Amino acid sequence: MFTKQLVRSAYFMAATMTALSYSAMPAQAQSFSATITGSPTWQKGTSVVTWSYSGAPPTLVTQYGVKVVAVQMAGANTTYGLTPQAVSFSARQAAIGTNFTFTQNTVLQIVLEDTNGNKITAPYRVTFVAP
């Protein structure tokens, strides 16, 4: 009798596992990613940084916006805010006033950060050129 119950239990478990394997898997949340897509060269004056993204941005980003920050300037690590305040993330662009001192072919690496300083893009290389 024990063997019959064991066989029935095994059959029931196999049937249940087969049914579960064919059922629809729950949809996973789409992951968020953002990429800077602006011009790789800037001239003195106003430049525009643009970005694209996919997925649902974090609440901190949608509510409070992002900042454009230089994380490297002329080969030296730095943290230099290029936007004085947060800009709307959904606008997908920010005007950068580049009126600080630079030399020909000064290279920056810039990122988007949330208002807590968390980087949300990979570094993007930008080079200053003289007009």
Segment 51-66, tens digit of pLDDT: 999 999 999 999 999 9
Q: What is the CATH number of the domain that holds 94?
A: 2.60.40.2840
Tokens at 85, concatenated: 């305040």
Residue 62 lies in a domain: yes
| pLDDT for residue 34 | 96
Residue 86 lies in a domain: yes
Residue 88 belongs to domain spanning: 33-128
User: Would you say residue 10 has pLDDT above 70?
Assistant: no
Model confidence pLDDT, tens digit, residues 66-94: 999 999 988 889 888 999 899 999 999 99
What is the DSSP code (8-state) at residue 89? Answer: G
Residue 13 lies in a domain: no
Residue 67 lies in a domain: yes
**How many residues are given for the chain?**
131
Structural domain count of the chain: 1
User: Would you say residue 2 has pLDDT above 50?
Assistant: no
Q: For residues 102 and 122, what is the distance between their CA atoms, to the nearest angstrom?
A: 23
pTM: 0.72
Model confidence pLDDT, tens digit, residues 92-129: 999 987 766 677 788 999 999 999 999 999 999 999 88
Residue 43 lies in a domain: yes
Mean pLDDT of the chain, nearest integer: 80
Q: For residues 70 and 72, what is the distance between their CA atoms, to the nearest angstrom?
A: 6
82, 99 Cβ separation under 8 angstroms: no
126, 42 Cβ separation under 8 angstroms: yes
% residues pLDDT > 90 (the chain): 48
Q: For residues 17 and 30, what is the distance between their CA atoms, to the nearest angstrom?
A: 27
Residue 124 lies in a domain: yes
Residue 42 lies in a domain: yes
Residue 18 lies in a domain: no
> 102 vs 9, 49, 122, CA distance in Å?
76, 18, 23
